[in-house]
Chains A and B, each alone.
Chain A
Amino acid sequence: MTTPTVYAEMDLLRFTTAGSVDDGKSTLIGRLLYDTKSIFEDQMEQIEGASRRLGESEVNLALITDGLRAEREQKITIDVAYRYFATPRRKFIIADTPGHVQYTRNMVTGASNAELAIVLVDARNGVVTQSKRHAFIASLLGIPHLIVAVNKMDLVDYAEVAYEKVRHDFTEFSRKLTVQDITFIPISALRGDNVVEWSDRMPWYKGGSLLHRLETVNVGSRRNHIDFRFPVQYVLRPNQGFRGYAGTVASGSVAPGEEIVILPSRRHSRIRSVETYDGAVGEARTGDAVVLTIEDEVDISRGDMIVRRKNVPIVGDRFEAYLCWMSETPLELNGPYMLLHTTNRMQAFVERIEYRVDVDTLHRQAANSLELNEIGRVEITTSKPLFFDSYRVNVRTGSFVLVDLHSNVTVAAGMIRGEPTRDEDVTERPVSKDVVWEGWNVPREEREIRTGHRAAILWFTGLPGAGKTTIAREVERRLFERGVRTMLLDGDQLRHGLSGDLGFTPGDRVENIRRVGEVAKLFFEQGSVVLCAFVSPYVKGREAVGALVPEGRFLEIHVHAPAEELRRRDPKGLYRREERGEVAPLTGVSAPYESPRSPALDLDTGSVGVEEAVAAVLKLLEGKGIVG
């Protein structure tokens, strides 16, 4: 028999299940509960009785989860239901959500707190539109782990080929998603194969059972342990001598003595103590419900946020977000809504809809409104500044809901992308499998304090021969001499190594710039001023690099000169070889070049000398507060 202490040592995994109406999701959950002995005799008797009354020949395990009367009658699950079971290792909370097309909102709800999603696929039908929708929502909601349960294997004679087909098709589709960890498991929920125990009916399958995966997957990878954010929830003043700020640590940690800033007042102070009912503690970490006291008498109220002095969130009244519409009444542009974010609330407008995502094809569509179950990318303006981070980095400070001011109903769920004017699409960004985002070990902010300057990416773009590399090299030398940490990346270095496998087709050019961007981002996070000199002909590619770093840290410098001047300089002989047809299409001659729309700096090297150009770049860096 299990001892009490074993139960007290468990950790907790919240997961969500999604599947089409007939994928056997309820049966799977029934099976998990039944085989882990989480269903009691009286529940079983009730289910047996109900199965008989509904005219079913066998006991219908699905009836365990289909609680509501309407569901019984329509034989479908219509709302999010929560189920609980435990093994000696772990307590599990299942958010069971329906797969019907009209219930995207329930899936989003169930996914909002989940660390893992099980997507059910019927082995007979393979990957269908609904499977894709579920995977997309899991990806959008930032769920780090996905299990694709290929169900009803008993109906395809346990054939590996059916499983492999699903695996192949799903893998192909998932390249467009940001879910980092996908596991495929062939099961029969009805017969119990590979649900709790490994089944010898599929000897070709070498992986573990579904429950084994649930018991061993890492928990806590959604939490941000780095950026300390403490939304003040409730102020406690039991007497004149005590003033405490009650709340739950949204992310990061804090200890007595640490320097803090209170938003929005930006007053500075220090943590005096971290209090709990059971006594003062040495530290408060992500998820802890505590009471903070601080050294100074500062006016703080609910909705304020306590953060670290050197790691503050974005403070702004405009941001871009993905919005899932959850109401029968469509979104109205320019109609005010109440926005709930952390412990803060304020009025907000949806200014514009950038596009709507067709959740089945992932295609973008122009839209003037969002209707029930539709997802779109929007720009939102708030009536007072919000303290936020991007959802991908921090779920707690990156999520919000919108409430209708008249009915008071929750009408939308939102995930913040960041400040406006970025053009990187979360759904299309390739991310490696098996990599779980843990955040940087030493945050860039700390590195910047040590180096005494800020990190930035200086992006020199322009046609061959315009002078990008010449200027960038000289700028780097000057910065280096001033003690600034720098790195210079240019076409020659990358093309010989990291991008050695790429040619000059439009696709390869895009990929090359993407790689440059990722490398630049690494140096950026290490605290460097990164100078990149690349022709980089496409606006979209350059903006994608810009979107990798915070606003104000990507500085685009357009270097150009008249065409005849470029031909005259021709430092690498490219123009001469182009004329003889010896090189690949040359940008600006036989391949297109898209000029920057609004560069941070515009350098016409036809009229400005190198020295003058370098001085202009250094002035820009000083003006932006990158270097002192």
Chain B
Amino acid sequence: MKTKIHGHLEMLEHESIYVLREVAAQFERPILLFSGGKDSIVLSWLARKAFHPSPIPFPLVHIDTGHNFPETLEFRDRYVKELGSELIVRYVQDSIDQGRVKEETGPEASRNSLQTVTLLDALKELQADVAIGGARRDEEKARAKERFFSHRDRYGQWDPKNQRPELWNLYNGRKNPGEHFRAFPLSNWTEMDVWQYIHLEGIPIPGLYLAHERDVVRRNGILLARTDYIQPIPGDEVSRQSVRFRTIGDATCTGAVESTARTIEAVIQETAAARVTERGGRSDDKRSDTAMEDRKRVGYF
């Protein structure tokens, strides 16, 4: 028997459900961006709650960089099946093959920034007028100013100086043809809230989030999983360690942390004591102080 949630988690849950229902009511063709990471898992979990006993009235869309941990994909397919939801996958590889984007080269190459083009193409193809994402405001400085309903112009761009004021719980999703929105129902959640909720609700998550032994490469102070896409270069330290991931994105830039937390309770204990932010392990944010803002301006998640 599951513990009934209350207090701040209950308020966050109700707020997110309200936002998801607003999205479904105000837009014609929403999609939910699903990466298989914990935030998008919680997001889809909430979507199921919001529309129960009806099925989730929009598809889940995964923008696949091709650089996945195999565990993530297995989990994704199993979880989506259990949700009873439709899953659409679009591949960065296709954008590369079509010449829409040019792949970075060299050992530190990442496909993370290429996702933007694949995403915008997918929105167009699916005629989606809103993409629901699991981003949280506590993740990064630029996200602290995001709205629940975030307007994008016809080029998919975000203008941080020209955002619509958002008051009370009145969300304005009106737009002109060609424009679209991003919606962020988890805006007010923190990493700790997400873990607590996963724990209390008994939500399944990929094993990568729990401590396990694996070969890792330490590069510029960040621990990366040794995979087909990450091979050691001079200066790297290679070792086998007990690690877990705090975020799961593209395997080329998602950092691991040393950990022995093999249960969600233990992860919560470690999170409470953590002294590094969860995006601290993401090398894509380290490129400059305003790296995230620059990427968001051009249409990143």
Find residues 393-421 in chain A having any chain B CB closer than 8 Å to their own CB: 395-396, 399-401, 403, 408-410, 413
Contact check, B144 vs A67: say whether CB atoms are below 8 A apart: yes
Contact A326 B170 (CB under 8 A): no
Check B276 against A246 for contact (C-beta < 8 Å): no
Contact check, B168 vs A236: say whether CB atoms are below 8 A apart.
no
Q: Give min CB distance, B86 to chain A, whole Å.
A: 16
- Contact of A82 with B170 at beta-carbon distance under 8 Å, contacts A10-B8, A40-B277, A46-B289 already known: no
- A246–B51 CB distance below 8 A: yes
Is A40 a contact of B275 with CB atoms below 8 Å? yes
- Residues of B with C-beta under 8 A to A341: 170
Complex Cα gap A291–B277 (Å): 37
Q: Which of B144, B161, B293 contacts A78 (CB 8 A)?
A: B161
Which of B18, B24, B172, B268 meets A340, CB within 8 Å? B172
Select one of B11, B268, B290 contacting A287, CB under 8 A. B11
Q: Does A102 contact B (CB under 8 A)?
A: no
A113 CA to B188 CA, complexed, in Å: 12
User: When chains A and B are docked, how far (Å) is the Cα of A70 from the Cα of B160?
Assistant: 10
Q: When the two chains form the complex, which single residue of A69, A108, A408 contacts B290, counting CB atoms closer than 8 Å? A: A69
Q: Is the CB of B4 within 8 A of A396?
A: no
Residue of A nearest to B166 (CB): A109
A242 to B169, CA, bound (A): 28
CB neighbours of A237 from chain B (8 A): 54
> Interface with A: B62-70, B191-199, B209-217, which one?
B191-199
A4/B165 in contact, CB under 8 A: no
Q: Which residues of chain B are near A4, meaning CB under 8 Å?
A: 196, 199, 265, 268-269
CA A234 – CA B164 in complex, angstroms? 24
Are A410 and B165 interface neighbours, CB within 8 A? yes
Given contacts A84-B138, A248-B18, A277-B52, whether A9 and B168 have CB atoms under 8 Å apart is no
Determine the chain A residues whose CB is within 8 A of the CB of B280 once the complex forms.
Answer: 40-42
CA distance A68 to B265 in the complex (A): 35
Q: Are A84 and B137 in contact (CB-based, < 8 A)?
A: yes
Task: Tell me, in angstroms, the Cα distance from A395 to B170 when the chains sit together.
Answer: 12
Question: In the bound complex, how far is the Cα of B130 from the Cα of A434, in angstroms?
Answer: 45
Counting chain B CB atoms within 10 Å of each CB, the highest count among A8, A276, A403 belongs to A8
Judged by a CB distance under 8 angstroms, whether A298 is at the interface is no
**Inter-chain contacts of A68 with B (CB < 8 A):** 141-142, 145, 160-161, 290, 293
| Additional A-B contacts beyond A343-B25, A403-B174 (7; CB < 8 A) | A40-B276, A42-B276, A80-B145, A82-B144, A288-B14, A401-B172, A408-B176
**Which residues of chain B have a CB within 8 Å of any CB of chain A?**
2, 4-5, 7-9, 11-14, 17-18, 21-22, 24-25, 48-55, 137-138, 141-142, 144-145, 160-161, 163-170, 172, 174-176, 187-188, 190, 192-193, 196, 199-200, 265, 268-269, 272-277, 280, 289-290, 293
> Please, could you name 11 A-B residue pairs with CB atoms under 8 Å apart, sorted by A?
A7-B272, A67-B144, A81-B144, A90-B8, A108-B165, A113-B169, A238-B55, A288-B14, A395-B168, A399-B170, A410-B167
**Closest 5 interchain pairs by CB?**
A67-B141, A277-B49, A42-B280, A289-B17, A408-B174
